[in-house]
Amino acid sequence: MTPWQKEHLLYLEKNGHEEPAETEEANEETTNMEEKANDSEETEDDTESVDESERVSFADRLPKLKEYRNKQLYQRLLLLTLLFLAPLLVTVYWISPLNQLAEVTVKGNQKVAAETIINASNLKIHESLWPQFFERQSTVAQIKKQVPRVNDVTITINHLNQFTIDITEHQEVALLVKGKEYLPILDNGLIIEDPQKEASQDKVIFEGFKEEAKILETLTAYHKLAKEIQEGISQIKYAPTAKNDQLLNLYMNDGNQVIVNISNMASQMKYYAQVAKELDSKGIVDMEVGIFAYPYPTSDSSTDESSQETVTESNEEINF
């Protein structure tokens, strides 16, 4: 209430007059205005407090913003450093000994000397490493061509500037008679000119073969036989006739001889054990057409025609 309003009220009380309604309303309005003014002051105080809190919060965020900007700066600096250093490092590596082939080692070889493999590869020590590595497929083909015993080759980098040649050799599966010597026959039918004076007991002996294709065909049929039948064969002789170029003579460890075609060796030889049991003496089992068994002819030169007829009559046909 204003001083004027207070003086006016005192005057009315002294003179016995009541305060008019309008004055009361004016007083209420004045009171409301004062309350609003107080409210506005409180609002301003609240606003000032909010602004102050916002200012404090923003100030708190300043160190984090600075840290973020520093991090971005360091990342950009690192990127620029790498961009400048990368070409320099490549240049240094290119002219350093690390870019040159230092050594070649061979592993997996059994019959072939490591030096033979390295010479066949034509790899150059102290020359650029990567061109030779990227051309390794042609090197592999060259090794296989010059060293027939090699079946598979893998070239890898070892210790930064060294090559390792890992090879797999073809296995020796048979021996070919050549005069008084024996030549190894590989599992791919290839004959190796590496003569041996004595034959290995664990390998079957081939005789009379001249074509690698026929050797490979015979080996394929031989490997289809049961293990006990394979171990029972000591020698396979190629004995073609004018009418049959598939004919083989198999010399068995039990003393018998088997005549059989290459094409039906696997299917016919499965009956050999039963036929051998029914023979009264060692002899020939003919499986060229059907299965016939008869003893060896006698070596007596005085054998007459009647004895020859007796041998013929003793032939026995066995059907299965």
Residues 262-301: pLDDT tens digits? 999 999 999 999 999 998 889 999 999 889 998 998 765 4
Report, as an integer, the average pLDDT of 206-220.
94
Q: Is 1 domain-assigned? A: no
Whether 177 and 304 map to the same domain: the answer is yes
Residue 146 C-beta-side C-alpha neighbours within 13 Å: 16
Report the pLDDT value the prediction gives residue 22, as an integer from 0 to 100: 47
Max avg pLDDT among 14-23, 51-60, 165-174: 165-174
Report the pLDDT value the prediction gives residue 38, as an integer from 0 to 100: 56
Whether 90 and 164 map to the same domain: the answer is no
Report the pLDDT value the prediction gives residue 319, as an integer from 0 to 100: 54
Number of domains, the chain: 3
Whether 133 and 197 map to the same domain: the answer is no
What is the DSSP-derived secondary structure letter of residue 290?
Answer: S
8 A C-beta contact, residue 143 and residue 153: yes
Whether 226 and 296 map to the same domain: the answer is yes
CA nearest 162: which of 100, 92, 96, 89? 100
Whether 88 and 136 map to the same domain: the answer is no
- pLDDT at residue 309 greater than cutoff 50: no
Provide the domain limits for residue 44. 7-94
CA distance 209 to 89: 62
Whether 160 and 122 map to the same domain: the answer is yes
Domain boundary (60, 94, 128) is at 94
Share of residues in the chain with pLDDT > 90 (%): 55
Q: Is 2 domain-assigned? A: no
> How far is the first Cα of the chain from the last one, in angstroms, to the nearest whole number?
139
Residue 252: other Cβ atoms inside 10 A? 17
Q: Which helix (H) or strand (E) holds 91?
A: helix 21-95
Residue-wise pLDDT for 115-145, tens only, equals: 999 999 999 999 999 999 999 999 999 999 9
CA nearest 273: which of 297, 288, 298, 291? 291
CA angle 183, 238, 182 (to 5 degrees): 15
Whether 306 and 200 map to the same domain: the answer is yes
pTM: 0.65
Give the residue, 63 or 286, on which the prediction is more confident: 286
- pLDDT at residue 246 greater than cutoff 90: yes
Give the residue, 182 or 46, on which the prediction is more confident: 182
Q: Is 60 domain-assigned? A: yes
Q: Is 302 domain-assigned? A: yes
Whether 114 and 178 map to the same domain: the answer is no
